Amino acid sequence: MKEAFRSIACLVPQVFRALFRGPQTVAFPFGRANIPEGYRGRLRIHADQCRGCGLCVRDCPASALELQREGRGRFRLLYYPHRCAYCGQCELSCTSEALYHDNSFVGGVASLDELVTVMVEREG
Amino acid sequence: MSKLVVPIGPQHPLLKEPLSFRLTVEGERVTESAMRLGYVHRGIERLCQTRTYVQNIHLLERVCGICSHVHTTTYCRAVEALAGLELPPRALHLRALLCELERIHSHMLWLGVLARNVGFDTIFMYAWRDREIVLDIMEDLSGGRVSHAVNVIGGVRIDLDDAHRDTILQQLDLLEDQVEWLLGVVEHERTLQARTRGIGVLTLADVRRYCVVGPVARASGLDIDLRRDDRQAPYDQMHYEVPVHDAGDVWARTLVRVKEAVESVHLCRQILDTLPAGAVSVRAPRRIPAGEAVTRSEAPRGEVIYYVRSNGSDHPARVKIRTPTLTSLITLPDQLRDVAMADVSVVLSGVDLCIACADR
Amino acid sequence: MMALYRLLVFPGFGFLFVCAMLFDWIDRRVIARTQERVGPPWYQPLADFIKLLAKEDVRTEGVHEVAAAGLPIVSLASVLTAALYVPVGGVAAASYEGDLIVVLFLLSVPALAYFLAGWISPGVYSVIGGHRSLLQYFSYEVPFMMALASPAVLAGSWRIMSIVAYQGQATWLALIQPLGFLLAIVGLIGKLKRDPLDIPKAKSEVVGGPLTEYSGRKMAIWHLAMDMQTVVGIFLLVNLFLGESRFLEALPAFPVFGAKALAILLLLSMASALYARLRIDQLANLGWRVLAPLALLQVMATLWVGG
């Protein structure tokens, strides 16, 4: 008898608790979203530490980084957020600890050109 | 009764991923079924040959969203075997921690999807609410909710300090209460049992014939689990049970999966309590010596096999993946024979399809 | 003039429209809160209705256009006509002996129109949904009608206002005939095709059921007919089982009626949240092996006691 009652009233305690506890959802973007510090968001760089070695470009699985060398000591490092897989391999491969992910999101833009970021521009 | 051909997919509300079925239905009974795969084929095995070993870790993580860590773990183990690397025990523990967390995540997700497909939205919402706890733990540990990118060749790249470990243990306590409550619901709730009992039965003989692996096999009485049978470190030092049931229907599979989730919570706690000190990775060479390696792991859906062949350069010569969903898919025409139309959704949910895994 | 007011404003179309939107919102909000979600804001059902009116009306090939357009209108018309005889807080547009039977028959028309909508459509999901809706109709309708006939037998009249007045002298029929009340609730869930008996339009099985191919204005009318059927069904149950009461005579009639209707709506929402969807053969089994005998028992007990 108890089993029969339990079999149809199984959910009732949790349902009532849910009614009084209130919603457990986060009303992002109208409320705060708790994004932890270590979240791999947008890629950033400490530009002065970059030596232009190109290890990040070699190890990126998504071809999201591009190094344009223009002679001695002159180079430009480009980053394509729309190709990036946010895996953090470049951060691992970089020997000068220049690249890092912060926990911000990449927002929507109107045209693809606006997304391409020049990370470092060294004039030599 | 007239015969109708009902298309399930490639787009259908009950499928998470594209899969095509043509069911011949008479009245409410399904008489024949024809299945078609390949809608999510991305050619990953071929792509692996054009990328370096390091880049392949991230490519292979995206074979499947739910079992991403297991794929990279198995691949890294194969490459480490080729390179002759010996991993520090802390790395093995951390890899296992994420494997178990991923198992809980996968089973919670699956329980929600099954509940949704039988019209039980409340359990869907509750299971996914509890899944959020696991995702938060994984996000704190690794920086990503679904794509963790924790593995490197030679170990892992994350580490825990004591405060972080205590936070995770607290969250695991909360998670354990919720998962045990869900287990109670699966065991006792009448309408869920009415929908899933006796549906999609696979006998032990069927399971052996089709070489089914994973929870589907364990629910039909086959007691296999690679963590225990292969004595993989660090599982050989842990105490855990492998749930087995003998009914072979969708309800048995549900029970097995939710019990596995409970056992995984216990395993996570043991892993954190016995976490050895030391390094988390060893240095790996860029060029892997020539050879072949085959490794297997227990993914949430069963046994995943990796074959890696290297020719001495920094690009692999061949990577071959055998995912467990393929074995479950082969049983579907058998299960869909003579089943009611309403049970099609239950059967398809019961085998926990991951078409991205199957198609690669 | 008064008749026009009763037809169009209260308790006619205007009042029913507002109630339909309100009840739909309360239902969705309560179910969302049981699932620990927020739920839609108060204007959501109205916004959905307006959005559907503005959407493109897809013409399916192979469907008789007049029939496809006429079925939702017939549904809505029959629900509105049934609403004429269901009193709200003691006020009905018309009332005469036998109007309970008229209401019950008129409320069966939307179910048949729903089946026909699936029958005339060439899509596979619609046909299967139509089959299921007819089978479901046969499973719940007999217990439902018998459960709603018991109050009439006990009160000795087939006029809804008389049954309400009878409860004012005795007590609520939900207390005298609890079995009948329970059967009426289950039958109402089947009639309204709500979870756990939303088998004809089960999203994960037949995508949309008979209404898969509908969109735009016709869909707006279908939804309005379904929502109004909810309102009229709940009002009918309130009148037959939770009518007048000596203890609540001092309070104003309309808010008391509203509170009772909300109580039944909450009961229906809870049933939606608590259970999984049944399979059609399980419903047929339940309907004919459990519900119909119980309803028969209720009617015979009423006959024996009532004399």
pLDDT of amino acid B304: 92
C91 secondary structure, DSSP code: B
Residues of chain B found within 8 Å of residue A58, distances taken between Cβ atoms:
52
CB contact under 8 A, C205 and B341: yes
Reference C239, options C154, C158, C167; nearest CA is: C167
Mean pLDDT of the B52-78 span: 91
Ramachandran angles phi, psi of A15, nearest 5° = -65, -40
Which of B54, B184, B189 is closest, CB to CB, to A59? B54
Minimal CA separation from C121 to chain B, in Å: 13
Q: Does residue A67 contact residue A98 with C-beta atoms inside 8 Å? A: no
Q: List, as one string, the DSSP characters of C223-270.
A: HHHHHHHHHHHHHHHHHHHS---GGGTTS-HHHHHHHHHHHHHHHHHH
SS3 A69: strand
Find the range with the poorest average confidence among A6-10, B74-78, C79-83. A6-10
pLDDT in tens, C172-207: 888 888 899 999 999 999 999 888 888 888 777 777
pLDDT of amino acid C210: 87
CB contact under 8 A, B185 and A15: no
Per-residue pLDDT at A15 exceeds 80 = yes
Per-residue pLDDT at B207 exceeds 80 = yes
Any CB–CB contact under 8 A between A59 and chain B?
A: yes
Residues of chain A found within 8 Å of residue C35, distances taken between Cβ atoms:
18
Q: How far apart are CA B19 and CA C302, in angstroms?
A: 56
Residue B217 in tokens = 């096999």
pLDDT band of B248, cuts 50, 70, 90? confident
pLDDT of amino acid C3: 78
Q: Does residue C120 contact residue C68 with C-beta atoms inside 8 Å? A: yes
pLDDT in tens, B291-330: 999 999 999 998 999 999 999 888 999 999 999 988 888 8
Per-residue pLDDT at A44 exceeds 60 = yes
Q: Which chains touch C (3 or more CB pairs under 8 A)?
A: A, B
Residues of chain B found within 8 Å of residue C203, distances taken between Cβ atoms:
13-14
Interface pTM, i.e. ipTM: 0.87
Mean pLDDT of the C218-222 span: 92
Any CB–CB contact under 8 A between A24 and chain B?
A: yes
Residue B328 in tokens = 């479950």
The residue in chain C having the minimum alpha-carbon distance to the alpha carbon of residue B1 is C131
pLDDT of amino acid C307: 56
pLDDT of amino acid C106: 92
Residue B127 in tokens = 């299971």
Q: Does residue B118 contact residue B184 with C-beta atoms inside 8 Å? A: no
pLDDT in tens, A18-42: 888 878 888 877 877 788 888 888 8
Q: Does residue B189 contact residue A7 with C-beta atoms inside 8 Å? A: yes
pLDDT of amino acid B1: 58
SS3 C187: helix
Predicted TM-score (pTM) of this structure: 0.91
Residue A116 Ramachandran class (φ > 0 left, ψ -120 to 50 alpha, else beta):
beta
- Domain ranges in chain C are 20-306
CB contact under 8 A, A15 and C34: yes
Distances (CA, A) of B206 to B243, B322, B353: 19, 20, 18
Mean pLDDT of the C254-272 span: 90
C210 secondary structure, DSSP code: G
Give the sign of the dihedral formed by CA B269, CA B272, CA B275, CA B279: positive
- Residue of B121, B132, B178 to mutate when probing chain C, most C C-beta within 10 A: B121
